[in-house]
A and B are shown apart, each in its own frame.
Chain A
């Protein structure tokens, strides 16, 4: 997110009394700190957070896909944000998207047959599916502040072969 966008978004949300507005304002403050001063976050990670914000903005209304999609909720946004923050340093940045059920998706893509997609639910569940050449893997994990080892392994297998 650019500094201008940050200022605009803060201006919109700072006067709100709702829990949503409060949470987003808090997140914006965290982002500011990270974007302006952190050496821990690489350029790629910053790009992912920007993309996450853009997707959230695009998909927070019902029917954002034209087929009756559910909106991406603040809870889902928060869960995805926390997951991105928890990724180990040096992890290649995923592409961010959304699914019609309102989940946010994080995709690591090597080729059509080497790809990992993780759906983040409002409850913080990580539904994943991976094509790894001739084999495949899918299941559900939960992120409790740390990215599950299964997910880390899949990211490595997709991005480094």
Chain B
């Protein structure tokens, strides 16, 4: 897996992945609930930049995230950086061990209703989550 581009600023047209590790964050039709985009424990939301990664590599990152926390990977919601930025949120590249593509979405309002209305619109933009491959990547 190459680390090309991971240190560069996030551009508006970049695709970002939010890995879904809680079943109830997905509806029965496979679409993503706003619950998956509420920031906590800090006013940051962890996402993974697609950059030049293949599907297999992206799922490998997701499986690693799930493995580290002993959770099941239920899906992956993809959104563009611009879907966050239009709500005055910032997407900051923030490499972490095991995931050089990691980024934080920052600048969230502190009031819960204001967080929710933004998260709802991001969830609407995400649409259906991608299903993880049957075989581990």
A66 within 8 A of B: yes
* Complex Cα spacing A138 to B117, Å: 7
A107 touches B117 (CB 8 A): no
Please pick, from A69, A99, A131, the residue contacting B121 in the complex, using a CB distance under 8 A. Answer: A131
Please pick, from B19, B35, B69, the residue contacting A99 in the complex, using a CB distance under 8 A. Answer: B35
Minimum CB distance partner of B44 in chain A:
A67
* Contacts A66-B66, A112-B123, A138-B116 given; does A100 touch B24 at CB 8 Å: no
B121 — which chain A residues lie within 8 A by C-beta?
A: 131, 136
* Complex Cα spacing A143 to B40, Å: 25
* A interface, size bucket: 35 or more
A112-B31, A121-B112, A129-B34 known, 4 other contacts, Cβ within 8 Å: A59-B22, A64-B22, A95-B27, A101-B38
* Contacts A58-B24, A107-B33, A112-B127 given; does A69 touch B117 at CB 8 Å: no
B24 touches A101 (CB 8 A): no
* Contacts A127-B112, A138-B113, A138-B117 given; does A117 touch B24 at CB 8 Å: no
Most buried by B among A113, A127, A130: A127
Tally B residues with Cβ within 8 Å of A: 32
* Contacts A69-B40, A101-B38, A112-B124 given; does A117 touch B116 at CB 8 Å: yes
- Which residues of A90-144 have CB atoms within 8 Å of chain B's CB atoms? 95-101, 103, 105, 107, 109, 112-113, 115, 117, 119, 121, 127-131, 136, 138-140
* Contact surface of B with A, Cβ cutoff 8 Å: 19, 21-25, 27, 31, 33-35, 38-41, 46, 65-66, 68-69, 71, 112-114, 116-117, 119-121, 123-124, 127
* Contacts A100-B39, A112-B31 given; does A129 touch B116 at CB 8 Å: yes
A70 touches B40 (CB 8 A): yes
Most buried by A among B24, B38, B119, B127: B24
**Nearest Cβ distance between residue A87 and chain B, in whole angstroms?**
19
A68 within 8 A of B: yes
* Complex Cα spacing A83 to B65, Å: 35
